[in-house]
Amino acid sequence: MSVSIELFPFLSDNYCILVHDNATGATASIDAIDPAPILDMLTQKNWTLSDIFVTHHHWDHTDGILSLKNMFDIRVTGPAGEANKIGGLDNTVSGGDTISLGETTFEIIDTPGHTLGHISYFDRSNKNLFCGDALFSLGCGRMFEGTPAPMWAGLKSLRQLPDDTSVYCGHEYSAANAKFALSVDPHNKALQNRVEQITDLLKSGQPTVPFNLGEDKLANPFLRADSPALAQNLNMPLNNPDTVFAALRKAKDTF
């Protein structure tokens, strides 16, 4: 039931993540951009890969799947909604399903918008969320597929998770997200505090991931589309969070 987690950078801003179920030794890679960094970490930890949990179909989350499948006897689980876009899947899941890694259970949450079938994996007993490119600290994934309302709905389901959840996302985007967040919500104290944390972490060469969900709920404009204060800053109606979310997402794209 307890897990050990390794998070390590690859290329300019991707994160590789390994989750190891301590009771059984089962080990999952959350997405798989490339076999090399994953193999290095497995060797370093003396872990054997048993699973890949895929969040969405983009190459920087899937390109390593087939080579890892050739090297290990693994089960690859991914989003049912994108099964035709991901090679090597053994198992498909969608919102409401669960998947286990040894003695650890993950709940699947639909988080569409970055891609239509994007899913996130939540380990409720250890309060760890693996959300790919759906949610970042102070930001969210670019909306490549679909429309704002379902994306906002997906982020609201992540927002319902406990405050003391640790969020493991797929990229180090916090610095750029911080600049945009401050531009739309300059008087938010929680945001100012989080930006300070991020600046300090990056200055000392540390990742800003995982991050605390409770802090992000108060600071991330994309989790606050229904906040009256934020709507007021943007001169937008107070009673239409879908519209506020759409405007935020659009503004970030050209920021």
Query: Active-site residues: which are they?
Result: 56, 58, 60-61, 114, 133, 171
DSSP 69: H
Interacting partner of 20 out of Fe ion, Zn ion, none (Cβ under 5 to 8 A depending on kind)? none
Contacts 24+ apart (CB under 8 A), 247-251: 248/184, 248/221, 248/222, 249/140, 249/142, 249/143, 249/148, 249/151, 249/222, 251/180, 251/184
Interacting partner of 31 out of Fe ion, Zn ion, none (Cβ under 5 to 8 A depending on kind)? none
Helices (H), ranges, 188-255: 189-203, 213-219, 228-233, 241-253
Alpha-carbon span 159 to 142, nearest angstrom: 18
Alpha-carbon span 52 to 65, nearest angstrom: 8
Nearer of residues 88 and 170 to Zn ion, judged by Cβ: 170
Residues forming the site for Zn ion (CB under 5 A): 58, 133
DSSP 33: S
Please, which residues bridge with residue 30 across strands?
17, 53
In terms of residues, how long is the chain? 255
Nearer of residues 14 and 104 to Zn ion, judged by Cβ: 14
Nearer of residues 31 and 215 to Zn ion, judged by Cβ: 31
Tokens 């300090």 belong to residue: 200
- Closest approach, Cβ 189 to Fe ion, in A, equals 31
Q: Considering only CA atoms, which of 41, 1, 47, 53 is closest in space to residue 27?
A: 47
Residues forming the site for Fe ion (CB under 5 A): 60, 133, 170
- Closest approach, Cβ 21 to Fe ion, in A, equals 25
Q: Considering only CA atoms, which of 126, 128, 127, 158 is closest in space to residue 141?
A: 158
Nearer of residues 30 and 184 to Fe ion, judged by Cβ: 30
The first and second tokens of residue 206, run together, are 């540390």
- Closest approach, Cβ 152 to Zn ion, in A, equals 18
- Closest approach, Cβ 19 to Fe ion, in A, equals 18
- Closest approach, Cβ 14 to Fe ion, in A, equals 7
Tokens 């699973």 belong to residue: 51
